[in-house]
Chain A
Amino acid sequence: MSYQLVTEITILVLAAFVGFEVISKVPTLLHTPLMSGTNAIHGIVIVGAIVVMGTPHPGLFMRLVSFVAVILGTANVVGGFVVTDRMLEMFKKRPDDA
């Protein structure tokens, strides 16, 4: 097993703990925004899509596949953040808390 892999697994495990810790504090009230917000976050695959799109490919086919990946990744990121923001905008407290 390579040293790099061990480091990466360490990062993965620590991220899992951070994730559980942070997310267990999210109230049920916000579970839908949580879901769509994390949806937007996994749109980080856009980074992967850009990397593979930017690597020279001999054939057109792989370019097309990368192209579709960029489209899907961007739709994921943009759609995810816009929809989450739209939802959270609606959550309001009583105007006068008398």
Chain B
Amino acid sequence: MSPTTANLLYLVTIAAFILALRFLSSPRHARFGVQIGAVGMLWAVIVTLFLKGVDTGWWWMAAGVVIGSVIGVVGAKKVKMTAMPQMVALFNGVGGGAAALVSLVEFHSVWANVGDVGVERGIATVFSALVGSISFAGSLVAFGKLQELVSGRPITYPAQQVGNALLFVGAIALAVVAMGSVEFWLLAAAIGAAALFGIVFVLPIGGADMPVVISLLNAFTGLAAAATGFVLHSNVLIVSGMLVGASGTLLTTLMARAMNRSLANVLFGAFGKVVATPGAAAAGGDGAAVRSATADDVAVMLAFARRVVFVPGYGLAVAQAQHDVRNLAELLEERGVDVRYAIHPVAGRMPGHMNVLLAEANVPYDELFEMDTINPEFPQTDVVVVVGANDVVNPAARNQPGSPIYGMPILDVDKAQNVVVVKRSMSPGFAGIDNPLFYDPKTVMLFDDAKAAMEKLIAAVKAV
């Protein structure tokens, strides 16, 4: 089949992908949409198998597809919903790696068959090789951080930014030089340098900033795939890659905005590094005491409340307490309590993380409320239960101009009648900032693991 015919047939795939994204606008049809997308992908693969020039290596392909499918299916089926951010990072990384490798091989065969790469294709090759490689290595580090194989805290060392910048420029220079030479290992070395850059680029970024990083790497892989499309002159790669690039860019901006920080600050600010924050001690007021409560006390508050709002955070994911929260919520609903969930845009470790966890626990999605919707309702809320969230409910973001998170939009839980904070200890949250909410006279602390606390509350509510 000629490339022209193939490009025509690829239109089916392009339409399928756009429809898939279109259907994601409502949870009702989203699953159907993704299935359309999968069929479109299958179609693209079949068309490619009949493409002119694809006429060898069938056994290699078959073996590669089998191995890749096994990895994909096992990984996707085994992963716990709480581990979804690292899984998304991993699948994102392998795509970037594939893009980089494809451009390396194509570079080699163009030199072997045509004799020169040319400027236009050269630029696309450099872009796809380097960005794909950065995305691959960066995603692996993000995976490591989320899986806690690598410290989630920012890892910094002297002259980090300068060193990283030099490495980045070096990788580009190496790749550009490689374009003018038949020596493919020069490009391979450039890909290696870019991978190294990907590692040192993500290392200094703290775990709480992962929603931004994962979105950004997602955009990177998309753009790398689009660049591969320029290398291979394949429209389907260009369009699909760019769709992902657009999505990743949009999410990155949304996440950075939800933290009220610039992208540069997220990427280079080493936010969440443990520093002695001046004024942190004063945040709680002078000698303000923390009130600690037992599960029985809290159970009484909850059982006789009219409206209870749960605020989930990363601690809920870590403790895998989503099912217990839901059980508690159901128990309260049976007693006639109006139960809602307030979801902060950057709660957790990737965009929409909490929504997925609560969906797994069978919480109907119409009980999940976004920040802007739920904020005006806190004054009419009797009890807010904060489960494993911290910085996203920190009033310092509203009223302490000196605070590192000042200006970040937060859930105004301090405006509710009562606040229960479920937390293992008084240790500060990821941003390393003290939380005045804990010292608020309306707040009681329930010191326990999120899961254990929910189980005790369920027992206690039943006994009320």
Contact = CB atoms under 8 A, between A and B. Distances in A.
A76 B72 contact: yes
B109 A35 contact: no
Contacts of A58: 112
A11 B235 contact: yes
A89 B31 contact: yes
B389 interface: no
A65 B239 contact: no
A11 to B, nearest CB: 5
B390 interface: no
Of the listed residues B22, B68, B370, the one surrounded by the most CB atoms of chain A closer than 10 A to its CB is B68
Q: How large is the interface on A (under 10, 10 to 19, 20 to 34, 35 or more residues)?
A: 35 or more
A79 B109 contact: no
Contacts of A12: 226, 238-239, 242
Contacts, number: 384
B247 A65 contact: no
Given A69-B64, A69-B98, 10 more contacts: A15-B239, A18-B243, A35-B350, A36-B87, A52-B106, A58-B112, A63-B57, A79-B72, A90-B362, A92-B359
B362 A92 contact: yes
Interface in B53-110: 53-57, 60-61, 63-65, 67-69, 71-73, 75-77, 79, 81, 84, 87-88, 90-92, 94-95, 97-99, 101-102, 104-106, 108-109
B105 A62 contact: yes
A21 B274 CA distance: 40
> Helix, strand, loop or mixed for chain B's interface?
helix
Contact of A34 (B102, B352, B359, B366): B352
Contacts of A84: 34
Q: Which of A18, A41, A82, A93 has the most CB of B within 10 A?
A: A41
Contacts of B84: 32, 36, 83, 87
B435 interface: no
B352 A71 contact: no
Nearest to B55: A54
